[in-house]
Structure 1
Amino acid sequence: MLGTALTVRSDRAEYLTLKGANHQAAHQFSERIKEAWSRFNLAALEKEAAHLDRIRAEVMLLAAPLRYPAACQIAPLLDDARALDASLLSKLNAEAIGPEAVERIAPVRKFAAEPRALRANGIAVFVASELDRWKEFFDTIESKPLTPEQRLSVVVDEDATLVLAGAGSGKTSVITAKAAYLVTAGIRQPEEILLLAFAKNAAEEMSERVEARSGVPIVARTFHAIAYDIIGIVEGSKPALAEHATDDMAFTNLIKQILKDLVHQLSAVSRAIIQFFAHFLVEPKTEWDFQTKHDFYTHLETQDLRTLQGERVKSYEELQIANWLYENGVEYEYEPVYEHKIAETGRRDYQPDFRLIESGIYIEHFGVRRQKMADGSERLITAPFVDRDEYLAGMDWKRQVHAEHDTTLIETYSYERQEGRLLTGLAEKLAPHVTLKPRPVDTIYDRIVELKQVDDFSKLLGTFLRKFKSGGYSLQDCETKSEQMKLGKRARAFLDVFAPVFEEYQKRLGGRIDFEDMILRAAHYAETGRYKSPFRHILVDEFQDISQSRARLVKALKAQHPDVRVFAVGDDWQSIFRFAGSDIHLMRHFGREFGGSFDGEASVHRTVDLGRTFRSVDQIAFAARTFVLRNPAQIDKKIVPAGTATEPAIRVVTVSKGEDEVKLNEVLASLSAAVPPEDKPATVLLLGRYRFIEPDMPDLRRRFRRLKISFKTIHASKGLEADHVILLNADSGRTGFPSEIVDDPLLSLVSPEEEAFQNAEERRVMYVAMTRARHTLTILASNARPSSFVTELRKDPAYGISTAPGAEPEAHACGECGGRLLGVTGKDGRIWYRCEHVQHCGNLLPTCASCGTALPRHVDGTSEVRCGCGASYPTCPECEDGWLVERSGPYGRFLGCVRYPSCVGKAQISSSRRNAPSARTGR
């Protein structure tokens, strides 16, 4: 009666309402709007029909793809689908276009909404189909059919694919099959594939193997070879290679010559060089940087605290003082015996730190610092592990000695160095007594050459220079990193020397280039587009050894085309070349560094674990896996061993001092006897952490003809295998294993970030050593000083290590410093227990007077020291390790410490101890 309301909604969700319309007219108008809207929707759909049908066809192909649906291939399709969905498909009205059209657009809309699920399904379908399709190829491409994991790694073709290839898992077979598959399947032409290896011989072997297996001529190249080719293409010719580029000795000699020339120019640079040698050649750590004597002594043993005059001193601050005296022409003696005889005090002869020869003045350097108290007063304190009261009493005693004998004593203190005035303060104190006669810079340098300190420093400079160039660092980068790492004045002093050396080195290159220039220049040409890359697949062998500069080149080549794939094969468990620039973080963060992007997700990549080893039996394979995975940062991998051991496969053989050759011969004789006469000789690989460990190989080969024996350093053994492996000198110590030769902290300015886990890289070196063995691994370790790795292997049942009964030495801690007490045979043929820090601690104990072999030790909760043989002794009241034995003196018999004269602990003989064993005073 009142009319009809007609409401029309626009695409912006706004409403237009007409009220009071005639009902019939409104109904007709509504129907015409619907017809018009339907025509409009269908017209819009028809306008994009070709575009829609192309996208739809590609989306439908994802259900059964003909090629691996890599992110870089599917991402453009997703962009197109979402753009069409946003501009048209999402706006179409289902009622307007009808059910057929709705069904037509549904796959595209679903893909736009759920692309990851559809791509994942497409990958699964393709992989299953492709593995079946190429079964015969995978069965015959190598001498043995490929494993399921190897086949999977070949058909997977993500933007970036990382193949985890453990020791002996057949990584070369995978790279060979991958290259052949890409060409045979018509995915790439040979010239579109770049095969990269690190060593020339590895590249040559790979090229030959690919062509022999597949008939496809794909040339594998080293990183340097492809870089050199890129430079030649861009520049029109290849620049000459510097002569020293392939000769490490020539390179070091060049650095030495540059240093010498800079010194003899007598410039500010020469002064900086001398300052570094005199005061910063070693790491400037003092006892204040350590919590225990053991840690301090361990540090000292890694340093050569040798003065410019040639003697070895006991602390960094003493080194500074000695070198300042030498620089300024002040003749001195280090630790001379004091000129006056001191009355018997039970102490050793008094030896002041320095005596100045011309003036007769003595210098004592005291390890004390000043501490501010709450009431504003100050007191002197000592390092954390030093008894303050005893040390201060010693200071007073020394002052008293000089006062009594009227000798002049100059005192210096640790707090003066802390306040930056140790040497200026020394100069002021000596001014009334000494005339300084500074030595010429070139004279000091000649002395440095005499001491052979230039050799090691030149190697350090050379290593730093190569890392500096290959990493693309600047001096500003190094200064910033030095501040972050708090390396202080030493880093600044080093960079003051390095900067002019580097500048001069670059000048002397002239128009030639070195290997570092090659990689960086090639990467720059690829990044800027001056080099046009033909490569669509980049296959990299031994990927765990890649450095930042090599990674930069790979990334630059990948970035040239949207569909380039990186296929990397490696084993982070075998990353052992950090000293040469390899950066394990590039492998651990593979997706972030080389992956693609899809549906807003970055770092898209695929990882395939080859999982099994064709080399080691189960006991070796599982023990090696357990050992390397103690570091939680290592990528976990499954291991399927090559076979099952029927007898213990890993043995630890303990070696007494001087028995290395005898024990090695015994092990070889045992292996030789086990080889049947009709069999071919068994292969034996002797491994050493260092080259100097190599035994007399001609003699061993002559004596054991049933064995084919070779020697390699562990680093040089990568890729090799043998029936039996013998690891030599698995001892603790500076050149032991794990090695305690620490890289100079200065190298951290141009190195990948260090790993937090202790001995992380050395642990991987051990893994490499263990996994060279097919059937047995024998580890020769010192009975007195086994390495921490050997101790770990023996103590943890998880490793299943076989050790001869009684071979586990009893560990004794040194009560004086916390180090280890080691059994040694004295000149008198008797066994003594001496602290491992023999140069610093001096703790020496005899064996039990009753049994003559064991070391008596304190019994907790008692005042007794007891031996395993049952003998017991009263504990020494003065020291941690000693015990009291009967001695005779001018006033009769008494109990004295076995550590006399280092310790003067005494006690009266009680009636219950009248018959106690007497001391054997062999020293």
Structure 2
Amino acid sequence: MFNNVIRPSILGKFLNKYSKIEYDNKYLYLFIKNKQEESFSWREATGFVKINSSIFSSSIEFTFDSTHLKIDFLRKSDCKNSFNVINEFLKNIIDERIINKKNILYKYTQLEYLRDSNVVTLENELLPLFNSYNNQREYWDKSLSIESCKFLNGYLEYFPLTELSIKQLREEFESKTLNNRSSFYDKIESNPLTEEQRLAVIRDNDRNLVLAAAGTGKTSVMVAKALDIIDRGIAESENILILAYNKDASKELQDRLNFRGKDVFSDDNKKPQIKTFHALGREILFNAKKSVKISVFSEKPETLEKWISEWFVTKMESDDKFMEKFINLSYQAINPFDFKSKEEYDSYIRDNDYLTLQDEYVRGYQELLIANWLYLNGIEYEYEPSYVSKQRVEIGFDYRPDFFLTDYDIYLEHFGIDRVGNTRVDIDKDKYNYEIEQKRDLHNSFNTKLIETYHYNWTEKNLESTLYQHAVDNCITIKKRPKDEIFERLNKTEFLVDGIKRYLKCLQAIRVERLSDTDIYTRLEEEKIVNPKEYTELLSSIHSAYVEELRIQDSIDFDDMIIRAITEVNNKNFKPKWTHILVDEFQDISAARMEFLNSLIENGPSPRLTVVGDDWQSIYRFSGGKLELTTQFESRIGSCSTTMLQKTFRYNNSIAFTAGEFVMQNPEQYKKNVVTHTHVNSSQVYLLDSQVSKVENLELKTLRVIEEIIKNEPNASISIIARYRYLLKNTKKEVSKYLPKKEIKYWTFHGSKGLESDYCILIGFFQGKKGFPNENKEESVVEALLPSLDTFEHSEERRLLYVGITRAKKKSYLIADPKATSVFINELLSPKFKLHIASKSFNEKYREIFKCNVCTTGYYKIRKGEYGEFYSCSSGKSCRSNPRICSKCGAPSIDYEKESICNNPNCGFVMKICDVCGRPMKKRDGKFGSFWGCTGYGLKEDQCNNTRKL
């Protein structure tokens, strides 16, 4: 045992805190007034001692794990002798310490992937050592073993740990594992894993995000990762949990895992658990001895619709005010003066139907209120009837008053002006007010009765009282329509059915988002829903009745399985054991499922989470999917390692480019560079018109495309994809007549996810409510309750189209009507998307011939009516435009004040028309020469004698 002393210098006896320092081969002892006060074990030393000498004395420095000591004014001779003695036995201690730290580094960076949670631990363990080495590098290199110096020199640049050095450590681990596990990754799936797939398997951070483009093999990654964890001994099979989106996905994963894991599983009974969120929740409730009886509403969804229908019927039968409330809340109030442009207004009116209780469509919300008031008060009316005279007030339009009260020969006009005559932003105020005067004059000249209401009656909340006063003043009998009759009408029209479906969606949103009454009101108010209080009261009543019904059934629904399981886990009634949790289809995870996942993580043994998904395929917002949990993963869930799967074997580079370029227009999503195994030199995404022999026929055109595919490739798989089932039904009916033996698949865009065919035909690219994208604003209350949507317009519908296009392995066909194209088709016509546009009908100059001259979004389409063919606008009821058919070329001919001009620039035929009634003018001869005379001359009724000079 050593017993060595370092004493103060002469000056140090007065200035030094310590009276002496003693040491042996185990400890350093510090004395104050010759009494031992402190001691330090050499095993805690992080570096060699350092001596600094001056003329009269020396100082010595010691560095320990938690302390740095510098003692001045010591005898030079004592320090010199002690320096070599102490450092000699520190050599072995530091060598041992380096071996220990080397093992720690090996444990955290080479035995496993460096996890974020281990970074601080690793830094705390190794940084003091590297700092000490850096301060005495030359001495350390001379004193320590070659192995120790090699280690220190090799890793010095990594500490302190930075983003770059952490990345380097991880890349070294990845490179080593890729090499060592190459054979496993070659054989674990039917095809060798791509490098991206291998990296997704290897990366085992606390949080791992795998973003998989369509067809890039995310299921292979899930299976390979689970088996890799087991094969490398990182975790036992039973400590791995795989969560699938639904039963089908769960079964596919289970089958793949069983087949691929035959050589990995040591015990057939010990395999990773693969469950849906609901199944796991139910299992947790069962283990906690809670009720797990599943409601009939969950097992048979049609019973839920039946229950809510009966609930509404019962309420209406027992409460007159409830029926009135239901009718009033069936449509969202909209102020036309709030629109900032004609295009914005036109689009809204085009995309939203206003169906009255009399089962007719009107052009706006205020007209709907008037129509329903008339109906409820027993006043018979016609909507937009022909006037007694064909005389025109507006150029190009026959005069049709808004309403005609049939029992009283009274016309009712609702004028869109405020108190000072202001109009909507897109309407010429002076012209509109002038036309109001003309209409009044017209009624006076034909001695017809006109009553008027105004936009300001509605804004001042006195529209109904104004109607009532008009009725009193004009001796119009008000007789409240019987409740039974109203209810029968609600049942006969779509009014009741549509309302019930809407509120059922609201109930589902409330359940999946776990909304309180306050949450409901807040969301409605934030989305500027009119009457948020009334909606909240109604929705609260529905939800309370539903919860009570579940209580009576003594059962739980799918949402309860998750919500109640969270409570049991957080209350420690269930202890999660999983060390690794893998989640499939993460882009569609709901807030409740994420909360469930967090409860498993927070109450478990610090499990590692790997989520696999594709933000480009997030299409289930209606089921509660919160895309921002994927696109904002780090800020919302935590730091992670991200891997992108961008190599696809399903489709070619043309499909990948067009679909990818289209979906990436949304800047709120991840950018990916999808690489394909198959390369082609020309576009394989085709845009076709929906005409056959110049006649619009979507179903027959689809059949023609199928026949052409079969002609070239008889055994090819073919799928039809549409936004709505009715389109698939109509198309299947047509195709089956001619190809009864050919197996054609019919998918909705939502239903097509995860499927594939050689050729896919995408249909239904209309404008508006039943179009694609769906632009229906009627569901604004439902929308307000659903998870927030990224701000990019039509973002989810855009992802839906991406899903549809990427179902095709060889070619994807889009069939659309050039004269009623949706905004998606208009966008895809841009050269940057590289579509193969296979029809000249999509040429801008050709389409311009059919562009509506009244509204901003419509095109003229030929219709067949009682008196033959005619043109009308594709915007439907929202646009009144009905141009003539040019007698020369068949194109639309637009009426101006005195003539109708063909819209086809290659024709340009001009027909003279009457500036009074709009009928064609005919060249006639009179005693003063030739002149233009109205063809209405000589009619028995509504004769027009208007003439005009040649």
| TM-score bin (small chain) | 0.7 to 0.9
Moved more, 127-136 or 99-108: 99-108
Deviation of 1:449 after TM superposition, in Å, equals 2.8
Q: Which amino acid aligns with 1:127?
A: E
**d(CA) in 1 for partners of 2:306, 2:95:** 71
1:687/1:769 contact within 8 Å kept: yes
Q: Which of 673, 677, 691 in structure 1 is aligned with 2:725?
A: 691
Equivalent residue for 2:670, pick from 594, 612, 635:
635
Per-residue deviation, 1:300: 2.8
Do residues 369 (structure 1) and 404 (structure 2) align?
Answer: no
Q: CA distance change for structure 1 residues 385 and 243 in 2, over 3 Å: closer, same or farther?
A: same
Q: CA deviation at 1:702?
A: 8.2
Amino acid at match of 1:164: L
Distance between the aligned counterparts of 1:461 and 1:889, measured in 2? 68
Q: Do the aligned partners of residues 141 and 559 (structure 1) sit closer, same or farther apart at CA in structure 2, a change above 3 Å counting?
A: same
8 Å CA contact 1:672, 1:706 repeated in 2: no
Give the distance between the partners of 1:823 and 1:310, measured in 2 at CA: 25
Q: Partner of 1:61 in structure 2?
A: 106
Alignment of 1:803-818 (within 5 A): 803-805=838-840, 808=843, 809-811=846-848, 812-818=850-856
Please say if residues 538 and 565 of structure 1, whose CA atoms lie closer than 8 Å, have aligned partners that are also in contact.
Answer: yes
Q: 1:219 aligns with which of 273, 276, 291?
A: 273
Match of 2:521 in 1: 479
Partners of 1:565 and 1:821 in 2: how far apart? 56
Q: What are the superposed Cα offsets for residues 366-392 of structure 1, whole Å, 9 maximum, x if unpaired?
A: 21113xxxxxxxx22111222322322
Seen in structure 2, the aligned counterparts of structure 1 residues 355 and 179 have a Cα distance that, compared at 3 Å, is same
Q: For 1:804 and 1:344, how far apart are their aligned partners in 2?
A: 42
Render the CA deviation track for 1:647-670: whole Å, top value 9, x for unaligned.
652322222245334323322222
Matched, 1:244 2:297: yes
Matching residue of 1:149? 196
Report the alpha carbon displacement of residue 466 of structure 1 after superposing the two structures with TM: 1.4
Residue 159 of structure 1 is matched in structure 2 by: 206
Whole-Å separation in 2 of the counterparts to 1:569 and 1:621: 20
1:163 Cα shift? 1.4
Q: Report the counterpart of residue 227 of structure 2 in structure 1.
A: 180
Distance 2:439 2:880 in 1: 22
Letter in 2 for 1:673: K
Offset of residue 533 of structure 1: 0.6
Separation in 2 of the partners of 1:701 and 1:342?
Answer: 51
User: How far off its partner does 1:228 sit?
Assistant: 0.8
Classify 1:664/1:224 alpha carbon distance in 2 versus 1 (closer, same or farther; 3 Å): same
Q: Distance in 1 between matches of 2:619 and 2:433?
A: 48
In structure 2, C-alpha distance between the alignment counterparts of 1:98 and 1:389, rounded to whole Å = 94
Q: 1:34 offset after TM fit, Å? A: 9.8
Instruction: For 1:205 and 1:345, locate their aligned partners in 2 and report how far apart those are by CA, in whole Å.
Output: 67
CA drift at 1:200: 0.4
CA distance in 2, matches of 1:65, 1:629: 37
- Residue pair 2:913, 2:921 contacting (<8 A) in 1 also: no
Name the CA distance, whole Å, in 1 between partners of 2:911 and 2:386.
Answer: 36
**CA contact 1:575–1:761 (8 Å) conserved in 2:** yes
Counterpart in 1 of 2:765?
730
Match for 1:709: what amino acid? I
1:19-38 equivalences under 5 Å are 30-32=73-75
- Indicate the SS of the match to 2:611: strand
Superposed, which structure 2 residues align to 1:534-549 within 5 Å?
A: 534-549=577-592
- Which residues in structure 2 correspond to 1:142-541 (within 5 Å)? 142-215=189-262, 216=265, 217-234=271-288, 236-266=289-319, 271=321, 273-293=322-342, 295-327=344-376, 329-335=377-383, 352-354=401-403, 363-370=412-419, 379-400=420-441, 410-428=451-469, 430=471, 433=475, 438=480, 444-489=486-531, 491-510=532-551, 511-541=554-584
Deviation at 1:537, TM superposition (A): 1.2
Note if contact 2:690-2:815 (Cα within 8 Å) is conserved in structure 1: yes
Provide closer, same or farther for how the CA distance between residues 766 and 364 of structure 1 changes in structure 2, counting only shifts above 3 A: same
Tell me, in whole angstroms, the C-alpha distance in 2 between the residues paired with 1:870 and 1:358: 48
How far is 1:175 from its partner? 0.8
What's the TM-score, normalizing by structure 1?
0.82
- Spell out, residue by residue over 1:868-915, the C-alpha distance to the aligned partner (whole angstroms, 9 max, x if none): 435564999989xx99986559996339999xx9xx9x99566xxxxx
Distance 1:888 1:163, change over 3 A: farther
In structure 1, C-alpha distance between the alignment counterparts of 2:908 and 2:751, rounded to whole Å? 52
Partners in 2 of 1:304 and 1:293 — Cα distance? 18
- Is contact 2:403-2:413 (8 Å) kept? yes
Partner Cα separation in structure 1 for residue 624 and residue 186 of structure 2: 38
Q: Which amino acid in 1 is paired with 2:510?
A: F
Moved more, 386-395 or 95-104: 95-104
**Residues in 2 aligned to 1:787 and 1:390: alpha-carbon distance in whole angstroms:** 32
Q: Is the 8 A contact 1:274 1:444 kept in 2?
A: no
The verdict on how the C-alpha distance between 1:896 and 1:80 changes in structure 2, with shifts beyond 3 A counting, is farther
Deviation (angstroms), 1:644: 2.3
Cα distance in structure 2, aligned partners of 1:883 and 1:133: 87
Which one of the candidate residues 857, 882, 887 is aligned to 1:844? 882
Change (3 A) 1:135 1:706: farther
Equivalents in 2 of 1:513, 1:229: separation in Å?
A: 13
After TM superposition, give the deviation of residue 139 of structure 1 in Å: 0.8
Deviates more, 1:810-819 or 1:216-225: 810-819
Residue of structure 2 equivalent to 1:552? 595
Q: CA deviation at 1:739?
A: 2.7
One of 760, 767, 791 as aligned partner of 1:756? 791
CA deviation map 1:528-574 (0-9, x unaligned): 43321111211111122111111111122122246321111111111
Q: Matched residues in 2 for 1:310 and 1:831: separation?
A: 25
Q: How many residues align?
A: 858
CA distance in 1, matches of 2:574, 2:745: 45
Match 2:755 to one of 713, 717, 720:
720
Q: 1:57 to 1:883 in 2, by over 3 A?
A: farther
Contact 2:860 2:892 in 1 (8 A): no
Which sections of structure 2, spanning at least 5 residues, go unmatched? 1-8, 19-53, 60-71, 266-270
Return the match for 2:705 from 650, 653, 667.
Answer: 667
Q: Distance in 2 between matches of 1:606 and 1:907?
A: 82
Q: What's the CA shift for 1:44?
A: 15
TM-score, normalization by structure 2: 0.79
* Cross-structure match for 2:28: none
Which residue identity lines up with residue 633 of structure 1 in the other structure?
E
Residues 1:230 and 1:827: Cα distance change in structure 2 (over 3 Å): closer
> Is the partner of 1:332 in helix, strand or coil?
coil
Structure 2 distance, partners of 1:285, 1:726, is: 38
Deviations 1:724-767 (A, max 9, x none): 11223333343232233346111233212222222211111111
In the alignment, the residues of structure 2 paired with residue 70 and residue 10 of structure 1 have an alpha-carbon distance, to the nearest angstrom, of 45
- 1:833–1:131 distance in 2 versus 1, CA, 3 Å: same
Relative to structure 1, the CA distance from residue 454 to residue 166 in structure 2 (aligned partners, 3 Å threshold; closer, same or farther) is same
- Counterparts in 2 of 1:525-604, with a 5 A limit? 525-561=568-604, 563-595=606-638, 604=639
The residue aligned with 1:773 is 808
- Identity of aligned pairs, percent? 26
1:95-134 maps to which residues of 2 (within 5 A)? Answer: 113-114=160-161, 116-134=163-181
Structure 2 Cα separation of the partners of residues 148 and 897 of structure 1: 79
Q: 1:468 is aligned with what amino acid?
A: I
1:278–1:320 contact (8 Å) kept in structure 2: no
> Which is greater in Rg?
2
CA change 1:796–1:34 in 2 (3 A) is farther
Paired letter, 1:388 = K
Q: Is the 8 A contact 1:653 1:778 kept in 2?
A: yes
C-alpha distance in structure 2 between counterparts of 1:68 and 1:762, whole Å = 38
Query: Distance between the aligned counterparts of 1:346 and 1:406, measured in 2?
Result: 16
Question: What is the CA deviation profile of residues 32-84 of structure 1, one whole-angstrom value per residue up to 9, with x for unaligned ones?
Answer: 499699899999999x99997797245532796111111123344445668x8
User: Aligned partners of 2:364, 2:612: CA distance in 1, in Å?
Assistant: 48
Q: Tell me the secondary structure at the aligned position of residue 535 of structure 1.
A: coil
- In the TM superposition, what is the alpha-carbon distance from 1:303 to its structure 2 partner? 2.9
Separation in structure 2 between the aligned mates of residue 798 and residue 389 of structure 1, nearest angstrom = 45
What is the letter of the counterpart of residue 581 of structure 1?
Answer: G
Q: 2:906 aligns with which of 869, 872, 882?
A: 869
Rate the CA distance shift 1:60–1:712 in 2: closer, same or farther, 3 A: closer
Structure 1 partner of 2:716? 682
Structure 1 unaligned spans of 5+: 12-22, 371-378, 596-603, 911-923
